[in-house]
Amino acid sequence: MNKRAIETTDILKALSNEQRFVIVGWLADPRAHFPEQQDGDLIDDGVCVGFITEKIGLSQPTVTGHLNILANAGIVTSKRIKNWVFYKLVPEQLNEVIAALSKCVTQISERDRSVL
């Protein structure tokens, strides 16, 4: 299997968990889902893990585990500011997965049309 296919599979696996999928949605538009932060800009630096933990209603270790899975898949990056870790979406990764899925759907549609 080629490297891009493996990366795409890793991203889809990371997104297959409901809580992680919701977190990614929030990080896609942080100003709409989180209050301004004392340290770090929501867009430039990302969202503090404390805000994510509070909003999703899970323990901080559980949320950190979910965010680590997303980071390992390349969907988010993390940045430490003072005593907190901030997470930011990597939209290019998601765009590549969307493009790969779109290509698959197109190929399937073309194949199905040729059968008719």
Give the global pTM: 0.86
Which carries the bigger pLDDT value, residue 11 or residue 113?
11
Domain holding 40, by residue range, is 3-115
pLDDT one-digit tens code per residue, 43-98: 999 999 999 999 999 999 999 999 999 999 999 999 999 999 999 999 998 898 88
| Overall domain count for the chain | 1
In angstroms, the Cα distances linking 7 to 12, 47, 49, 103 are: 9, 24, 25, 16
The amino acid at 56: I
Q: Which of 71, 63, 65, 73 is nearest to 88 (CA)?
A: 71
CATH number at residue 71: 1.10.10.10
